[in-house]
Amino acid sequence: MIKLLAKVLALVVLSLAVAAPVAAVTFLDSERIVPIGAHSTTVSPTLDGFVEFDAGPLVPRVRLPLDAPAGIGVQIRVGESEITNLEQLIARDAVIASQPQGEIAALRGAIVDMARDAALRGLGVALIVAITTTLAWRAVGPRRRREIRLSARRPGLTRTATALGVAVAVVGAVFLVSLPERPRPDDTTWAGVREVFPELPDGELLGDLQVAEGASTSGGRALVEGALTTYRESLEFYGQLAEAATEIEVRQPEEGQTTALVVTDRHDNIGMDPVARAVADRAGASLLIDLGDDTSTGGAWEEFSLNSLAREFEGFDVVAVAGNHDAGPSVVQQMDDLGFTVLDGEAETVGGIDFIGANDPRSSGLTAGYSGDEPDNIATIRSQDDALTAAACTGDPSSVAVVHSHASARDLTESGCVDLVLSGHLHRQVGPEEVVSPEGAVTTRLTTASTGGAVYAFALGSKLRREAQVTIVTFEDGRPVGLQPVSFMPGGTIEVADFTPVTLGDRARPDAARIDQE
């Protein structure tokens, strides 16, 4: 029994001796493409204990110490961007840097993914070694192993076996040393960021930040100073707005009631996410309703927007639809990956509330938008309205309809088959308004203004470009009982609207034949 345990232990030690270096080398030679801000970046692990950000020759490299085990560091190499204006690009990155939690989570996920893949590869190689060793051991058999042991005691063979062992060790060491590495310049001189930019404000993060000295630092000074100005202004404006939002007076839910927060048309303005979260906390909300247009183009480089929203509302149930500017598959796929419930035309129950809705069927450019009079747009919107109306009136009952544009729910609103229709798209508030169906059922509709304070499809900046808004929805027994919009002005003031009760009654259930006829 003891001999068997010794053999198993030796096999485990051998397997781990193989797995550890294989996993380490695989990890250090790994890289992932991660969208950060407006860029596609290449992320790779290092062993220098720093997070280094390399944005190319025009901008100085910067790094921060990373408190990670085994001195693990990260190198982030910035690639191309879909934004072609350099000053706009840096200004946008500066705003994103003022709310970096979503990007940090994405980087952390990439490093964990690389470490997991490396560990699995190491375990796979160790398993192969263990199986091969076991099979070889059994194939040789006890008699032959005894002969080998006796032969190995001869002086000549002992020297030969020793030499062979040393040769194998040397070859293995040479192999490990010769593996490709990402060379780092030994002559790089790093200086504290305040030594290079003494005008920076105090702060724990900036106190640890280091800048690589060189031509890019001096030559890109104007660009960096512009970015720092945008960063400071964004941090100050949205920080003060979020602080003010923690003190607003909103209606508190009564016993048996729950609340949700509506956001829409954020258009990449992640600065408003902590502000919206502060309102949600004041209202005691646990559900987020996202009406779409979280991005400006739907590009993969805009993943930072939904990363920020998910990070800020961590722990919330999220019901979402994509807007006309969330064109392409990227946004909907990311919503799904983040755990959002993306409505697709069928009834969904989230947080005890029955929802129905669908993504906007249209797509639009960054600023040009689209013409609502185009036949194709009219046809797709009408088709979606017909489908949602049929599903709500003849399928499983729904209480709240969630669409990006109210044009997708005109007939649905007039049918009386839902209690409430929530929409965005117009970047201004419309309603709340009650609509009475032919059967006498009442549906309330409300269009919430842009949460990002967007002008056209652009909202990201150091301050609000126009009035921004969120809406608090109060529910009781799974049905909406009240609405309360909260608006934020470009000057930094907050206006809380009066609480508007939602009229409830029996929802209409017209027969399918009448709906088909209409």
In the structure encoding, which two tokens stand for residue 375, read together? Answer: 């036949």
DSSP state of 344: -
* pLDDT at site 185: 47
Separation between Cα atoms, residue 218 and residue 28, nearest integer Å: 32
Helices (H), 53-154: 86-98, 101-152
Separation between Cα atoms, residue 508 and residue 512, nearest integer Å: 12
Could you write out the DSSP letters of every residue in 415-435? Answer: HT-SSEEEE-SSSS-EEEEEE
* pLDDT at site 510: 65
Q: Which residue has the tokens 């609502």?
A: 372
CB contact at 8 A, 477 and 453: no
* pLDDT at site 260: 97
Residues 6+ apart with CB under 8 A from 99: 238, 270, 271, 273, 274, 308
Separation between Cα atoms, residue 252 and residue 244, nearest integer Å: 18
Strand (E) or helix (H) holding 377:
helix 375-394
422-441 pLDDT tens trace:
999 999 999 899 999 988 89
Nearest partner of 38 among 75, 74, 85, 105, judged by Cα:
85
Question: Is the alpha carbon torsion for 131, 133, 138, 140 positive or negative?
Answer: positive
* pLDDT at site 18: 74
pLDDT tens, residue order, the chain (518 aa): 666 676 667 767 777 777 777 777 787 778 777 776 656 678 888 878 787 777 665 566 777 777 777 778 888 777 655 554 444 555 555 555 555 566 667 777 788 888 888 888 888 887 887 788 777 767 767 776 676 666 655 555 454 445 445 444 544 544 454 444 544 444 677 777 666 666 555 555 556 677 776 644 444 555 555 555 666 677 788 889 999 999 999 999 999 999 999 999 998 888 899 999 999 999 999 999 999 999 887 877 678 889 889 989 999 999 999 999 887 788 999 999 999 999 999 999 999 999 999 999 887 654 334 444 444 445 688 899 999 999 999 878 889 999 999 889 999 999 999 999 999 999 999 989 999 998 889 999 999 999 999 877 666 667 888 899 999 999 999 999 999 999 999 999 999 999 999 998 777 766 544 444 45
